A and B are shown apart, each in its own frame.
Chain A
Amino acid sequence: MASVKAMREPTFWILTALVKQARHGYGIIQEVGTLSEGQVTLQAGTLYAALDRLHAEGLVAVDRDEKVDGRDRRYYRLTEGGTAALAAETERLARISRTAATQLAAVRPDLGPATA
């Protein structure tokens, strides 16, 4: 099996937040907070560093620029490469979750994989 490089958690959530629509910085922070049920709070510095890196890697692209109350606002969207990378990471996480659940089922049946 080809090894897939693990994605950092902020990166994973940023890509996830962009799946349905293009978003600007604060929109991404809000969406990540909602999707993670408050578990992840992105700092602005972390967000834009990740966006720069993802842009350089071709996983996100600039969608459009807007001016709101005289302020610069930029929207980012997922590229095809970004969608593929997120799908691969989602599959990787699901696979290792299934493996862990299978192991746990041996000692804690209530934590085992769902069978329905």
Chain B
Amino acid sequence: MSRPYRLLVRAYPPGRRRGELLDTFAEAGRARPSVRETLNLIRHGLRARLGRPASRGVVVLATLIALVTGFVGASFFARVGWEFVPGFPDTGAVSETLFPGLNASTSRDGDGLFFDVTYPSYAEVLLSGHDEDFSFSTLTIAPDGGFIPGDYPAWTAAAQQRLVADGWQVSDAEVTGATWIATGEIDDSGRRFTATRDGLALTIQTETDVVDTPAGSFYVTAVMDRLTPPWLTVVSVLGLLAGALAGWLGTGWVSRRTEFARGAVRSLTREPAVLALILLLPQALLGFTGLVFTAVSSGPPGKPFWALSLTYGFGCGLLGFVLFAVSLITAVVAGRPAPDRALEVSS
């Protein structure tokens, strides 16, 4: 039998079915599978992996679990991928462009890729997650003292021109300040705009309502972020697919192993998995929303798309994976490989 068919039948779980399929193709004189045939075999092979052929519930369960594990895969691949994104450059040239003739300094809010005010170790993150302010680390460039004498709208326009001349893509400046509740109008007390170049984003903010702002001066900061490279989105999607496939195959393995088990064993695999989904699925769906937003947004990512799962959602997530582990361990300990259906009915 041709190699493509031998590869394709591996979509099915190990067992006689693979041999039956190869016999069917051999008898039909098929040499190479068509695209339609390939998709048909992959689709039905993945379904066969779940066992319980008359059940639709197992398909729904496997799909939802694949969504969760897909999110985990996307997060893991993206996290590893970020390690290969170039770090922040020396900010001397940018400081000179932004604040010509002034002494400026650069400060960093996190030592590594991320900022967490509590600076936890990896072990602490695994046990209790991150602080709620967990985000990508940034650089802040500001003139010494923080204030610049002069007119902030004029300075903003001039700074935009200098950045454009230096090759930055600059957005329009927006008016910032307190909002009058009665009218909804903004009390014009500052400007904000962003500039991007070479995978970096600058967010420049001028303000006049900072405490102790000298008369005729304004406060200014420039925050530098790293943009999400397009290739990292591709890596995240690959991680999503790998994670989803792993979740589907894992669900199938547990399902087939407990298909003919007694009621208590089936309950101990099914109920914890359903509870785990209640805890994990909302986080996964919100995470996917963040992944899509990061992919289509041209601005800095701020927080990684999996941030919720490591902050507010950490406890639920941890409990969810413990429940998944209960299902898995039950299948390992109390489950049995599905018997050959040929021996069941022959009267």
Binding site for B on A (CB under 8 A): 24-26, 29, 43-49, 52-53, 55-58, 61-65, 68-69, 71-74, 79
Contact = CB atoms under 8 A, between A and B. Distances in A.
Most buried by B among A44, A57, A64, A65: A44
Interface residues on B, range: 20 to 34
B25 A44 contact: yes
Nearest to A75: B342
A10 to B, nearest CB: 11
A64 B53 CA distance: 21
A45 B44 contact: yes
A49 B55 CA distance: 12
B31 to A, nearest CB: 14
B245 to A, nearest CB: 18
Nearest to B24: A25
Nearest to A63: B346
Interface of B: 16-17, 19-28, 36-37, 40-41, 43-45, 47-48, 52-54, 341-342, 344-347
B40 A44 contact: yes
Contact of B52 (A29, A45, A56, A61): A56
A49 B53 contact: yes
A72 B44 contact: no
Contacts of A71: 19, 22-23, 26
Contact of A62 (B23, B24, B45, B341): B341
B24 A74 contact: no
B53 A53 contact: yes
Nearest to B17: A48
The prevalent SS among residues of B at the interface is helix
Nearest to B27: A26
A79 B346 CA distance: 10
A45 B41 contact: yes
A45 B19 contact: no
B342 A48 contact: no
Contacts of A45: 37, 40-41, 43-45
A62 B346 contact: yes
A44 B21 contact: yes
Contacts of B41: 43-45
B28 A56 contact: no
A58 B54 CA distance: 10
Given A26-B27, A45-B41, A71-B26, A65 B48 contact: no
A52 B53 contact: yes
A45 to B, nearest CB: 4
A48 B44 CA distance: 8
Given A47-B24, A72-B20, A74-B342, 12 more contacts: A24-B20, A24-B23, A25-B20, A26-B24, A45-B45, A48-B21, A49-B48, A55-B341, A58-B345, A61-B346, A61-B347, A72-B16
